Every structure is written in C-alpha cells, then in structure tokens.
Chain A
C-alpha cells in the first residue's frame, strides 16, 4: 500500500497560541469598514436600510434607476418572498451568499410547500459560513448579513449573522461602519411597541447621523420594508426605488437641500 502524505492545506482556520481564530477576526474587521446596514423590528413590520459605498459621477446607474426585481443596488436583496437580506462586507462574497440563500429558500419551498421560516434560512447560511471556519484551505466569507423576515411561527423577525457562523435575533441592530454609534442611538430611541411608520423615521434619522456624508440621497441609500398584506395575510417585501427613497427623505425632512436656493432665499 502506498501512503501519500497530504500536507495540511493552508493555515486559514487554525487556532493561534492565544486560542483565537485570526482569519475570522480579520473578516469581522473588514466588515466594520463596510457600508452601514441597519435593521429595526416593529410590531407590524421590519425596516432595513443600507449605505451604498460605490457611488460617483461616472458610475452607470441607468439600470439601478428603475430598481430591478429583487433589489436595485448593492446591499439589499430579496432572498425569498418573505425575507429581505441586507449585506455588509465583501460584495463578491455577499453575492455568492445571496445566491445560496435564494437557492436554499427555493429548496425548502419545493420540499415543504411553504416559505422557509426566517430562522431556518439564517441557520442554512450559518451552516455554510461555519464550514469555512473549520475546513481546510479556504478563507471565510467576509460578510455579515441582516435578515428581515416574516413567518407564521414567530411573525416578524430580524436576525444578524457574522463570518464565524454565529447568528442572533434582534429588535434593532446595525452592521458595518459606525455600527457602535448607530446601536447606541437605536438603544436610546427604540420602543417595544414601535410601528413601521415610526421605525422608518427612526431608521432614517439614525442613518443620517451615522453616515459620513452630511446629506442623504437615493444615490447613497438603499431602503426596504417588510409588512404583511392586510387582505391576503401574505408577507409583502418592498424594496424602495431611488425616486421613492428621495420622496421618503423629503417626508422626513432629511433630503438634500439645494444650497443655492437657500442662499437666494436669504
């Protein structure tokens, strides 16, 4: 019998002498520089907002203008008809995970003829993410996700998962840049009986305070709300189009002000 020596592939996921997994910590570090994603759970819905990082005058946004099916931009995606996902981290990794999540949701639909329960979808992704913290040679996914969803078991839910494969449920949480600031703001302002309308306002205010830019606009912001249709009782996911986001900002008095007009007025 020939014994072949298999060298351990890579050293991405071995413990350091202090008992830490550096690659996981680095991945989390990468995420804390990514665009902010914020979620708030309300009594009658869930609200998700995200900061777009890739912007600029020359970027062709002609396709994003109308908003595509399943999300218009880079951060908020429709994972299933009852779950919206917000991603922070390496965009390429995130796309791969979104693809996996959609496929897992459809597999559940095929097997059980029901929308996947939100926690189960989070678990599916976390099983995958955890695998990359243990099995050889590959780096972990540099992505944290927020899942805003609805299912008949626990109604509205908000989950967060990180690169290690941990997940947890939240009333309001934030990932990405300035998540500490955003979270302390949310902690101050969150009420247990918050409605979707109030949650939209809270999310808008928090985003405007945590984002680097002084003015908010649809070119820097993504926005989505998950509610339940009052007639059919089916979950209704709405990912806002750029024009709708601008309208929402005007409504909450956070829109970009035309400085010239202000100058003339005074």
Chain B
C-alpha cells in the first residue's frame, strides 16, 4: 500500500515515496514517480485515489508554474503550501472532492530555511519536522521521534529514512518494494539513490 515519508535536517528536506501504481490487489507498475517538482525549490509527494492524485498534482504544478512566470520569482514554500491546502479545502466541500494526501517540502531562498508541511485530503495542514502518510506512518513515526535530528547532515537524514523504510518493509504485510527519494536544499531539487 502507498507510503510516503519526509524529514527536514540542516538546510534540506528529504521526501521519499513508494513507486507502486496499484489497482485493487494488482500491481500495475513499479516505477511510478509520485513526487513532483513544483518550482526550483519545492517538492510535493502525493498519494490517495489514483485518478485524483495525478489530476490534482498537475493542477497544482501548472498553477505554481503560472505564478512563477507571472511574477518572475516562485511562491515561497509557506505560501505555496497555504495555497495548496486551500485548494484541497475548497475541493472538499465541492460536488466531487479530491482524495489526495500530500507532503510538501521546500527550501525558502529568502531566509535560507527548509520547510515541510503535512497535508491531508480534509485540508488539514501542519508544519512539521518530519512526516509520513499511509500505513508506513504507523511504523515510521515512532522511529522518526526517536532518531530525527533537525540539525543533522544529509547523510544522517538519509540514515533515519533508511531505518523507517526498512522497518516498514519488515513489519507491514503490504509493504511497497521500491521508493523514490528526492532532496531539496539551497541548490534546488534532485533525486537520490538510497
């Protein structure tokens, strides 16, 4: 089942999401990238109802890009997250709400700080040092409580992430086999092999 994890460290945010595209009990694809790069310093991992996720993520991606084109600078992570949360909250009370859960991680170039937001399909948003969605969260959050270091180096952050992923693989019946990991820091976003 779908799992996504994220954590902040010293001047970076790591986001990991599983790469399975499933329908019912069948795996349709095992290399699906469910983390979008919204702007040069902003990442968003999405999970939930499969049609909704892509539709919503593309809508967000295009609008964040439009803001960037119109204003020459992109939205800051906190502003982008607020706007994305609002879009979900407005959708919730519409005729056909999006069932999408998000992790939004970004690096604010204006004050040189990393930001991570946990957002769910009800329009809840929380600014957090680490976060998880899906069944994996039951195994990962305790580990993150114990081992997360907000001032840790990138290598230290990746070690904590490996722990969370390994624990999920060991204990969850329907654990995903593959993850994609992305990092955002002052140099922008990039993919990392665990």
Residues of A within 8 A of B (CB): 111-114, 117, 119-120, 152-153
Contacts and interface: CB of A to CB of B under 8 A. Distances in A.
Contacts of B75: 112
Contacts of B78: 113-114
A153 B78 CA distance: 14
Contact of B110 (A111, A120, A153): A153
A111 B82 CA distance: 7
B82 A153 contact: no
Contacts of B86: 111
The dominant DSSP class at the B interface is helix
A120 B71 contact: yes
Nearest to A152: B110
Interface in B68-88: 71, 73, 75-76, 78-80, 82-83, 86
A119 B73 CA distance: 12
A186 to B, nearest CB: 27
Interface in B30-88: 71, 73, 75-76, 78-80, 82-83, 86
Contacts of A119: 71
A119 B75 CA distance: 14
Interface range for B: 10 to 19
Contacts of A113: 78-79, 82
Interface of B: 71, 73, 75-76, 78-80, 82-83, 86, 110-111
B66 to A, nearest CB: 13
A152 B111 contact: yes
A114 B78 CA distance: 8
A112 B82 contact: yes
B185 to A, nearest CB: 19
* Most chain B CB atoms below 10 A, which of A111, A112, A114, A153: A112
A113 B78 CA distance: 8
B71 A112 contact: no
Contacts of B79: 112-114
A153 B83 contact: no
A116 B111 CA distance: 17
Contacts of A114: 76, 78-79, 82
9 contacts: A111-B83, A111-B86, A112-B80, A113-B78, A113-B79, A114-B82, A152-B76, A152-B110, A152-B111
Contacts of B110: 152-153
A112 B111 CA distance: 17
Task: List 4 tightest A-B contacts by C-beta distance, closest first.
Answer: A113-B82, A152-B110, A112-B79, A114-B79
Contacts of A111: 82-83, 86
Contacts of B76: 114, 152
